[in-house]
Structure 1
Amino acid sequence: MLERLNQAMEYVEGHLDQRIEMPELVRIALTSEYHFRRMFSALAGMPLSEYVRRRRLTLAGAEVLAGERTLLDIAVRYGYGSGEAFARAFRALHGVGPGEARRTGAVLRSQPRMSFRLIVEGSSSMRYRLAEKDAFTVVGRKARVPLVYEGVNPAIATFIKSIGADTIERLEELSDQDPAGIVAVTANFEDRTGPEGTELDYYHAVVTSAAAPPDLDALAVPAGTWAVFESSGAFPAALQVMWRDIYTQWFPSNPYRSAPGPEILRTRLSPDGTTADAELWIPVEHAGGADAGTGQTPGNVS
C-alpha cells in the first residue's frame, strides 16, 4: 500500500501546476477515494487538499523570489483565479504578501515533498478481529460536535451529561447485539482526518435490530465487514493512539481498506475513570481490486 501511495505522491508532485484528478490518484494507489484520503491524512497529519495547497504555495514562493514571471502569471499557474486570492493564500502560508516578498527578498516557509515508509517497531501487537454484521440500527441521542484529537472532547462530555438516566435505561433495554451496551458512534464526518474543529455527528447510543422510538435519533447501517480493535490503557490517550496506529500501521500491513460508515466505540471505564478497556469497530472492505467502489463519485483534489 505504501509503495502505491508513494507513486500517487509522484503524480501529485508532477501536477502541482495542473489539475490534480482524484480518479487518477486512486487508480495509481489501487484503492478507493474514501480510503486514500483517510490514509493520507493519518500518515501526513493533514488533509490531502491542505498538503497540495502548501506544496503549490511553496513552489509559487520560489517563483515569486526568482522574479522571472509576473505575480498574476504565478497565481494562474498554481490555480488561483485572481491576484487577490493568490495574495491571501500566499500571506496565510508565508506570513507576507507576494509583492512584498519579491521587493524585500523575504524569508518564506516551505512544505517539503512527502514520501511514506512503514517503521515496524515490534514492541507490541495489535489485537483485532473481523466481524460480519447484518444491517442494524444505531439508536440514541445525537449531537453535532467538533473533532478533538487529544484529550477529552468538551462538547461530547457536556452532551453526555445532558442525557437523563431514564433515557440511558431505555437505550440499554434496546441493545440486542455486539457491540453490547451504550456505545459512542461517530458519523457524517466533514473530514475524519481533517483539522481539529471539523464537525461530525456523535451518537450516545446502542446497536440494535429494534425499531427506534420516535423521540430518539436513529442511524441505519447496512450489512458489512467490520475490523474490531481492542485497547486497554489510559483514558482517553490509549484510544487516540489506537486510532492513529490503525491507519499508520494496521491498514498498510493488511489487505483491507476503510469503507464508508460510522465508527463505533465501546468503552468500559475503570472506577476512577483514568483507564479503560475498549473496542473500536471500523467498517472495512477487502482491498482486492483497483476498481472496487465505495458508492461515491470521485472528485478532484482542488
Structure 2
Amino acid sequence: MDTLDSMNAAIDYIEEHLDKELDYQQAARIACFSEHHFKRMFSFLSGVPLSEYVRRRRLTLAALELRDHNKKVIDVALKYGYQSPDSFSRAFQELHHTLPSTVKHARVTLKAYPRITFQLSIKGDVEMKYRFVEKNAFKTVGYKEIMHPENGDFNPTLWNTLTDADYRKLQTLEREDTDLSGVLNITVNTCHGPEKSEEALEYYIAVVTNQPAPNDLAALEISKHLWAVFDAEGKMPDALTNTWSRIYTDWFPTSGYELTEAPEIVKSIDDTKTEIWIPVRKR
C-alpha cells in the first residue's frame, strides 16, 4: 500500500467513526505513521488541520440529520461528540451561521464539507534536491524540550531561551562529523523516561559527540538508519517550511519510500541553506 492509499484508508476509518469515539492513534496506525506524522501529513496534503476537518465533517452530517429527520438537537449533539446543546449550538452557528433549531426553515443556507480523498496531482516540473545517506549509529548531547503539539503544529520555544554561552557549551562537546557538523535541531516523535507519552515529542538543540552528557544536558542515541537528505534553499524560514511541505505532498507519495520511526534532523548550513534529514526505508 503506498502513501496515498494508506492515507485514504485512514480517512475511511475517520469517516466511519464521525458519530462514534474517534481514536486518532488508530487512524495513524492505519496510515502507517506516528500520530504526529499522520496529523502533519494530513495538514500538508489537505491544507487544514485534522481536528478542523473532523469538526467540519461532523457538523455537516449533523445539519443533514437535523434537516431531514425529526431528531432533537441534544441527541444529534451527543451523537457527534458534543457534551451539551450549548457547545453544539456555538460550534454549529460558527460553521453554518445559523442555529440548529432553524435548519428546517426553507430559506436557511447551510454549509457542506465533503469527505476528503487524496489523489496524486501533477503540479509542474519543480526540482527537489536530495540525496541518500546511510549512517551508522551516533550520539548527540544537547538541550531538550518536551512538546505537546496539536494538529501537527510544531512550535518549540527552546531556541528562544538559549544564550550564546549555551551554544559555546555545545561547541566544546562536539566531535568532528563529516555529515552532521555544528548545532543540530532534532525532533523525536515519542518521549522516553518519566515524560513518556504517545502525544508528546522530544525536541533537542544538540551536537554529535562521544562525550557523556553534563548534568544539565540530555543525551540521545540514534541508531543506524538510511536518511533522505533534502536541501532547503532560499529565505528562511519560508524555504524550510515549503521544503517540508513538498517532502510530504510530492516526494513521499511518489518515491517508493516511507518514514521510519527515528528522529528527524535539521542542519543549518548558512543563512540561505538548510538540510532536512528524514529517516526512511523502502516500501
TM-score category of the 2 structures, normalised to the smaller one: 0.7 to 0.9
Decide whether the 8 Å contact of 2:156 with 2:203 is kept in 1. no
Match of 2:112 among 106, 110, 113: 110
For 2:183 and 2:26, the matched residues in 1 are separated by 42
Match of 2:282 among 282, 286, 293: 286
Q: Cα gap change, 1:189/1:21 in structure 2, threshold over 3 Å: closer, same or farther?
A: closer
Q: How does 1:12-31 map to 2 (within 5 A)?
A: 12-19=14-21, 31=32
1:266 aligns with 2:267: yes
Q: CA RMSD in A?
A: 3.7
Q: Normalization by structure 1: what TM-score?
A: 0.71
> Deviations 1:14-68 (Å, cap 9, x if unpaired)?
5433455668756865x34545444323212334343223201111023234462
Q: Cα gap change, 1:202/1:37 in structure 2, threshold over 3 Å: closer, same or farther?
A: closer
For 1:124 and 1:213, the matched residues in 2 are separated by 45
Decide whether the 8 Å contact of 1:8 with 1:28 is kept in 2. yes
Match of 2:194 in 1: none
For 2:27 and 2:241, the matched residues in 1 are separated by 28
For 2:157 and 2:230, the matched residues in 1 are separated by 25
Structure 1 stretch 240-249 or stretch 199-208: which is displaced more?
A: 199-208
Match of 1:297 in 2: none
Q: Cα gap change, 1:33/1:143 in structure 2, threshold over 3 Å: closer, same or farther?
A: closer
Match of 1:226 in 2: 227
Report the identity percentage. 41
> Deviations 1:204-239 (Å, cap 9, x if unpaired)?
211234322223232333333322112322222111
For 2:30 and 2:233, the matched residues in 1 are separated by 37
Q: Which amino acid aligns with 1:76?
A: L
Q: Cα gap change, 1:135/1:99 in structure 2, threshold over 3 Å: closer, same or farther?
A: farther
Shift of 1:265: 0.7
Q: Cα gap change, 1:175/1:11 in structure 2, threshold over 3 Å: closer, same or farther?
A: same
Q: Cα gap change, 1:199/1:88 in structure 2, threshold over 3 Å: closer, same or farther?
A: farther
How many residue pairs get aligned? The number is 269
Q: Normalization by structure 2: what TM-score?
A: 0.75
Match of 2:152 in 1: none
Larger RCO: Structure 1 or Structure 2 (Cα < 8 Å, ≥ 6 residues apart)?
Answer: 1
Match of 1:136 in 2: 138
Q: Which amino acid aligns with 1:214?
A: N
> Deviations 1:270-300 (Å, cap 9, x if unpaired)?
xxx4xx222111122333xxxxxxxxxxxxx
Unaligned runs of 5+ in 2: 150-154, 192-198
Shift of 1:104: 9.7
Match of 1:298 in 2: none
For 1:146 and 1:78, the matched residues in 2 are separated by 25
Decide whether the 8 Å contact of 2:145 with 2:156 is kept in 1. no
Decide whether the 8 Å contact of 2:171 with 2:182 is kept in 1. no
